[in-house]
Amino acid sequence: MSPESKSLIRTILNPMLPFQMLLRVYSLCVLMVDIFFVYINTIISIIESVYEFFVPPPMKSLKNETALIIGAGRGIGQSLAIQLSDLGATVICVDINESNNERTVEYIKEMGNNDVHGYCCDITQKRNILALTRFIEKDIGFVTMLFHCCGVPSPRSLISLPPQDIQVTMDLTLNSYIWLIDQLMPQMKVKNHGHIIALTSVAGLSYNKDLMPLSVAQFAVQGLAKSLMEDLRVNRLDGVHITLSHIYPFIVKENSDMEAKIPSYFGTITPDRAATAVLDSVRRNYVEASVPKHMLFLGNVLRVLPRKANMMIRDLLDTGVDFA
């Protein structure tokens, strides 16, 4: 008898063969069921997203929330602090510029809200952030919302930029954000309540002329936000929210001398309007949003286009932004 025949006989007489075949059929059935459910849920998710675009979910109240705004001395950070105060939140203003920060605090108090606090802090140093969070916990208590509104546009390219300036950019835009989250997130997880808002500028969409260090930092902030989302999903913490808000190709009308190729389409908006748009997405617990709102769709389309087409569209739009 040939070796092939012997091998065939052994296979046929193998008592485990029926069970192995049954197991394979079972595994295939489970895989098909999983694929079916993924397909159905994907369709449902698309329908829900389209529906929410036209019929947004209701906005949550911010009363009894304690919001920490980093960079509250001017621009979007200042507008966020004022609007959060109007919505009934306890506001904690932090900025390295003490006079600007105090001006924001005094303005809020003049509007009739004394539930506002100000701290001057250089957040590029980790020890300063540790001290800041200890003071806040002692003086005010549990911080439920974090807005990080800082970014340093680097005026020169990576090659000509002094290393210390690159380090400041990374510390201010990214590292300080990580240090703050490291101090505030654990208590949010314990209480299953909180909201972290990641604000990123157009520099985080792609390399932006001579702003390579800022672009790298902004890309990293987006990655950090998405990592936090996944961490919360895995741990089933539905009371803690992350909102990634993109400041898309348009110009915040303050101290900005950057021009768009299509100004009639993008135009400019004030920091107040930008802050209002950010808070709108935060109060609806959106995972990802943009300012202006419709630019999020364009950004998603750009991600799936071939690189050449992607770059042509970016060159056409060629816009700038004063994020601070």
Q: Please state the pTM of the whole predicted model.
A: 0.79
The predicted-structure confidence for 239-279, as pLDDT tens digits, reads as follows: 999 999 888 655 555 544 444 454 444 556 788 888 999 99
Residue 286 lies in a domain: yes
Query: Is the pLDDT score of 321 beyond 50?
Result: no
Number of H helices, E strands in the chain: 12, 9
Q: Residue 320: what pLDDT? A: 41
Residue 246 lies in a domain: yes
- Provide the residue range defining the domain that includes 243: 66-317
Q: What is the mean pLDDT of residues 193-208?
A: 76
Residue 198 lies in a domain: yes
Residue 270 lies in a domain: yes
Residue 44 lies in a domain: no
Structurally, the chain folds into a number of domains equal to 1
Bond preceding residue 292 cis, omega within 30 of 0: yes
Residue 180 lies in a domain: yes
Query: Is the pLDDT score of 226 beyond 80?
Result: yes
Residue 20 lies in a domain: no
The predicted-structure confidence for 131-187, as pLDDT tens digits, reads as follows: 999 999 999 999 999 999 876 444 344 444 555 577 888 888 899 999 999 999 999
> Looking at residue 150, which CATH number applies to its domain?
3.40.50.720
Judge whether 260 and 249 are in contact, CB under 8 Å. yes
Q: Residue 231: what pLDDT? A: 94
Residue 9 lies in a domain: no
Instruction: Tell me the pLDDT band of 75, cut-offs 50, 70 and 90.
Output: confident
Of 72-76, 77-81, 96-100, 306-310, which gets the smallest average pLDDT?
306-310
**Backbone dihedral region for residue 141 (phi beyond 0: left; psi -120 to 50: alpha; all else: beta):** left
Of 69-73, 209-213, 240-244, which gets the smallest average pLDDT?
209-213
Query: Is the pLDDT score of 318 beyond 70?
Result: no
**Which segments of the chain are extended strands (E)?**
66-70, 90-95, 116-120, 145-148, 194-200, 240-247, 251-252, 268-269, 288-291
Q: Residue 157: what pLDDT? A: 41
Instruction: Tell me the pLDDT band of 5, cut-offs 50, 70 and 90.
Output: low
